[in-house]
A and B are shown apart, each in its own frame.
Chain A
């Protein structure tokens, strides 16, 4: 079949070339329209169910809201994990589904399950709400607004009613969470004295407000010729009008709302805040829809906001763009990668021209590279895959094979033509022979490389989600490259090289061949040295490789850092804001910091159920100032030194998102402590934290679930209530109205609705004021709350975590070592040895480090299987055990170069570097397969006797393609490796470094070590006669 394809291409060179141009054009078009993203969708489908439970504390939320909802959700099909957080006033449940499912269907299943929730939840609990379906990265753009003239309420109104709808109207935007400012509500502040004086109850006020603000449509009038709409208006649309609402009648006189309450617009109780720069403001956090193109959506959103900015400025509002913008990383990464590839391409062209000394050969070889890569991009786009760091990484890794494919044919043809000298040749036959000579070995070599990639392709979980696009892009590129080598390359050869006589071989190649010849002759006489070098280097490579520190993903060099800070749970929002503002001021003053924004607590119905003690500083680095993210991070830590115990972690945006997706936690290592008794869990977690602190390399250790916080416990006393004829519910309702308020209705105001809340005066900001809160008995007697209820200050749980329905405490660790997997193993051993678990408590280890261990284990297992497959393939290709043995003998030694390169550049093995080793393995196998096949060709086809001279000839003839391939691959990857520490090269950089180092060892092995061994022990052909010395 391979022969038929090559012959057909040679027969129709113009058609094949035209088709190739067309495919390249399609690829180019796809390149401009492809969906770009930072990463593939690495997060498993998940749904966040949030339920507001105003006024309830964490334990009440756990028992009354979270538990019943978990009960419904745990049984849902295809669910992999259900994690929940119960906090004051909020239940947040994350349902994680198994990969591969339809996220829309899974959401629907959750929605159906939640339909049963209404009957399970107590009165006053809001409906469970599902977060919108968003992409894995979730973050789109964070931007802010501040104003020196508008009040926090007016600013929030503006952002909520003017800006937010425009944000959500941008295609691809899933959600806009608003932090800061103050949400307007119309407040009816009831005076309990006046209420009692009027002989009314709170229920009367609720009812009056509801009736006073009710809007009932007026319908329309139909005259014989017109239909006139009746526009009914609610009576209490303004504060003044609402104040006139009649609550009851006393004698002849109506009793109005104003007689018992004060009505004014005010802020809702806040659950979050924001600081922009060093001023209070509004922070808007947007997220992308599932499957949306981050770059396109970001740019569209920014265009929309830029259009709005002038109008907002006229209203005294300053717009602060791009406070956090993951798209910047994509742009920067793509720009850097583009530059690296362009430089690489230029170097490759120069090398081709220098080596082949023939523009035709250089053009044919070079043109096949973009053709293969563009065709791959086109197919990736057609299959709906995004172009991201990983798929581009796959293309970069494929360069080695693509380059080899591009060179091998042209070089073989050129060599044959040179060998023929000026003799007349059947050019077409020469092309056929030259192409077919290498086709089958190339096919097997490519198949071997593809098999080497199988372990990466078969990775499961998050690792699989990350690296499958890489392996798909690689395999696709390699397959297309093979096809291009069999079609476009021969066709172009026919068109450009038919009558062309190539110039003589480059002088440096002639010298290299001479040097190779001398080396092989020398080593042929000392086979033990060759074996020793192969054995030692092979063993060294295999032994040293696992000694490197391992981590799943490298640190991404983004221009944004997120610093997490936390005060003690139970601290007031205003105190967190005050301190946050001071921190933000200092952070903004760090040289190299462009912007600082702080989100405090949570947004209403936001994604994170953070309490007011928690805040996140989003810090934008200005790269033009010349400071690295590491330097800025050190400065940030220095600032936090003056704010003791507040900083918890600093992450790049990507690292944070990936960490959270991997395990639900953002730290690289954590220990879940499961047990029904929260105090016991805490004690065990403390023990674990102490043990971990003693380990070298432990950075920050903290417990996720905060300690108890101060709560005011109100316990109605039935015997006291009976004295006044009060019901317990009356007490709780009054407490709720005083502290939480009750949203009674919504009023329409121009194009927006404003909630109307009834609140009770008298509840100040002190526990004493709560005790003095006056309740009204059915007879009208006023009684302070403290008289009918026990009020005490207690320490209670502010947050309760569940995983799969079980209570848990989590010990979060951010190790300060690059070998996170090693740290995880060490930590696990230490905990198992030194922490005694009480009955009913058990542990679970997690985090990126654990995932790394699991991924490495999976990778090794699949690699072993792949090795067996490669051996079988080689056996099929050669049919000789010695051939197979020779190829396998060469492979381990090639690793040493990659190992040395890794050690030189930091000594940490990321999965990217592992992919580099796999690629190296493939390149080395390919070189040896082609060399051994060429020996076979010389003996079987050209009828040469298997002598040292034949081995020398075969090796010399393979020197140019091997050297050329190595040099071209090296030059193509050199800019990537050199820019190892630049944004966008985090995955590809380590791969390139490993491949570059490995190319040195693999080239040396195939040029100098394999030939003497082959000459001595190989039996190409069938005679198997020993080689005369």
Chain B
């Protein structure tokens, strides 16, 4: 019996011990890996350096609002013709009214004016007035800012237009049917050069081509060759806007809008990065003017994609850490 036990031990012990050892090694190795916690993006100093994270304070800026418009050089002759028609019809009104008054006086004095002549003169005066009203309305409709202009201001403009020293431009805002406050300045982009223009006022009439609201601009000293019919970009500058300038690379987009990553206070050598929503005001150079940041904020300007990636993946990956 003893011999049998010895034989069994001899056969079992080494092989089973070795097999169990091998399994135990596997399990030890497996259990040595501790799971890492998933959470908001957080990096230690080595990781920040590795992924090339750059953090900076955003620059405050107060640039004017800029809006792109579609400029079209208008026919000066059309304006002059409209203005002339308005003037001539007004003169006709005055003349016909004077004639009617003269005949009225003669008729009432029993002089040589018949009732028929008086009535004809009155009718002619009415026609002239109607024509003058129509011409004026048309003029105001097409050239409202100029129509509202005082004659002593308009006449030099007309002279300049006639001389080719100035041009009128229609700066349409595609898709817009209403205008806000008048822009403070306008810049006409002529072959890449921004030439300042004067904003004369809002044009009430949309054209078939633009189907949008527009401003009337006056461009003095136009470059030779720029003439009626030419279309060119216009930048309209509005009131100044305050915000912070952030590079395009710092911005991320999500369902609820744009945001940037703000550096939080380091805890145990680990820095967390909180997403901060920002309102995009306008593009400026290689960046954007945004609202929603504080002057002392430090935001990620390079490597934001890694943080975004980290934030997104931490929620979906159940990944175990590696043993140290």
Contacts and interface: CB of A to CB of B under 8 A. Distances in A.
Contact of A536 (B11, B14, B283): B11
Contacts of B209: 779-781
A316 B210 CA distance: 53
A549 B31 contact: no
A701 interface: yes
Given A575-B305, A697-B30, A707-B316, A767 B211 contact: no
A50 B317 CA distance: 29
A779 B255 contact: no
Given A702-B318, A781-B212, A575 B11 contact: no
A527 B280 CA distance: 95
B317 to A, nearest CB: 5
B33 interface: yes
B304 to A, nearest CB: 8
A697 B3 contact: no
Interface in B279-324: 280, 283, 288, 303, 305-306, 308-320, 322
Contact of B51 (A642, A707, A818, A899): A642
Contacts of A579: 51-52, 303, 305-306
A765 B23 contact: no
A793 B50 contact: no
A899 B320 contact: no
A697 B306 contact: no
A522 to B, nearest CB: 12
A726 to B, nearest CB: 11
Contact of A795 (B27, B255, B316): B255
Given A701-B320, A779-B211, A817-B30, A549 B11 contact: no
A430 B249 CA distance: 93
Nearest to B208: A779
B253 A816 contact: no
Contacts of A764: 283
Contacts of A795: 254-255
Given A781-B212, A786-B175, A696 B27 contact: yes
Nearest to A822: B23
Interface residues of A, number: 92
Interface string B110-140: 0000000000000000000000000000000
A532 B19 contact: no
A903 B33 contact: no
Interface string A677-703: 000000000100110110011111111
Given A690-B318, A710-B254, A818-B26, A699 B33 contact: yes
Contacts of A699: 30, 33, 320
Contact of A819 (B4, B15, B26, B46): B26
B7 A536 contact: yes
Interface residues of B, number: 70
Interface in A173-213: 193-194, 196-197
A851 interface: no
Contact of A693 (B19, B35, B175): B35
Contact of A784 (B12, B27, B174, B322): B174
B148 interface: no
Interface in A375-402: none
A878 interface: no
Interface in A771-820: 772, 774, 777, 779-784, 786-788, 792-795, 815-819
A938 interface: no
Contacts of B19: 544, 547-548, 899, 902-903, 907
A99 interface: no
A111 interface: no
Contacts of B316: 686, 702-703, 706-707
Contact of A782 (B50, B210, B253, B309): B210
B186 to A, nearest CB: 16
B277 to A, nearest CB: 12
B194 to A, nearest CB: 15
B225 interface: no
Interface string A621-660: 0000000000000000110011111100000000000000
A568 B308 contact: yes
Contacts of A533: 7, 11
Contact of A899 (B15, B283, B303, B319): B15
Contact of B305 (A571, A706, A766, A787): A571
B94 interface: no
Nearest to A585: B50
A827 to B, nearest CB: 13
A646 B322 CA distance: 13
A540 interface: yes
A900 interface: yes
B302 to A, nearest CB: 9
B22 interface: yes
B47 interface: yes
A368 interface: no
Contacts of A443: none
Contacts of B255: 710, 792-795
A274 to B, nearest CB: 19
B21 interface: yes
Contacts of B51: 579, 582, 642-643
Nearest to A705: B316
A748 to B, nearest CB: 34
Given A578-B52, A768-B280, A907-B22, A567 B309 contact: yes
A547 B233 CA distance: 80
A536 B8 contact: yes
Given A568-B313, A579-B306, A643-B50, A549 B26 contact: yes
A901 to B, nearest CB: 9
Contacts of A637: 322
B43 interface: yes
Given A696-B27, A707-B315, A779-B211, A774 B47 contact: no
B107 interface: no
Given A544-B19, A643-B50, A700-B319, A777 B312 contact: no
Contacts of A536: 4, 7-8, 11-12
Contacts of A712: 253
Contact of A532 (B3, B15, B18): B3
B175 A907 contact: no
B211 A710 contact: no
Contacts of B312: 568-570, 707
Contacts of B212: 781-783
A904 B320 contact: no
A707 B317 CA distance: 10
Nearest to A198: B231
A689 B33 CA distance: 16
B320 A697 contact: no
Given A568-B309, A781-B174, A907 B23 contact: yes
A572 interface: yes
A582 B27 contact: no
A949 B47 CA distance: 80
A819 B23 contact: yes
Contact of A567 (B211, B257, B305, B322): B305
Contact of A645 (B49, B50, B288, B317): B317
Nearest to A682: B316
Interface of A: 193-194, 196-197, 526, 528-529, 532-533, 536-537, 540-541, 544, 547-549, 566-572, 575, 578-579, 582, 586, 613, 637-638, 641-646, 686, 689-690, 692-693, 696-703, 706-707, 710, 712, 723-724, 764-768, 772, 774, 777, 779-784, 786-788, 792-795, 815-819, 896, 899-900, 902-904, 906-908
5 contacts: A537-B11, A699-B33, A783-B174, A816-B26, A896-B15
User: 4 closest pairs, A vs B, by CB?
Assistant: A907-B22, A903-B18, A575-B305, A197-B231
Given A783-B211, A817-B29, 18 more contacts: A526-B3, A568-B311, A568-B313, A571-B309, A645-B310, A693-B318, A696-B31, A698-B320, A702-B317, A707-B315, A768-B280, A781-B210, A792-B255, A793-B253, A793-B254, A817-B27, A819-B23, A900-B15
